[in-house]
Amino acid sequence: MTSLTIDKEKCIQCGLCATECPIDIITEKDGEMILQHPGFCLFCGHCKAVCPEDAIAFPSLPDHEFVPLSEADAAMDPDRLLLFFRARRSMRKYRDTPVEPEKLEKIIRL
């Protein structure tokens, strides 16, 4: 997988990407955001999702996975809900237990 990059022309050094990186591979040095050990990137997308200037790029991941979502999109139809899911990022730890069929049915019906 190709690693992430920071477009220095777009970056405004706000530091949001560094704050959100769960493994601290983005940091500020001499007034510039830099990548330390980009090969360790988890490709979670937190940094790209919070970047106000869209300065973070994941060459190996499609851009449609990182759709910005405004606060005005509160009432969601199915298409908007899908965009919401693509715009959100979270890290999870999963249990090795099956999900109850009724819960899966409920999710599918939404």
5-87 domain in CATH 3.30.413.10? no
Q: Is the pLDDT of residue 84 over 80?
A: no
Q: What is the pLDDT of residue 89?
A: 72
Residue 2 pLDDT level (bands cut at 50, 70, 90): low
Q: What is the DSSP string of 70-108?
A: -TT--S--HHHHHHHHHH--------SSPPPHHHHHHHH
Q: What is the pLDDT of residue 55?
A: 92
Q: What tens digit of pLDDT does each residue of 48-61 get?
A: 888 888 899 888 77
Residue 67 pLDDT level (bands cut at 50, 70, 90): low
Distances (CA, A) of 61 to 6, 7, 58, 71, 96: 15, 16, 5, 25, 28
Residue 13 pLDDT level (bands cut at 50, 70, 90): very high
Average pLDDT over residues 38-52: 85
Q: Is the pLDDT of residue 77 over 80?
A: no
CA dihedral 56, 80, 92, 95 (to 10 degrees): -150
Q: Identify the three-state secondary structure at position 63.
A: helix
Burial of 52 (0-12, 13-18, 19+ CB in 10 A): exposed
CA dihedral 60, 36, 40, 94 (to 10 degrees): -100
Domain range summary for the chain, segments of one domain joined by +: 5-87
Q: Is the pLDDT of residue 71 over 60?
A: no
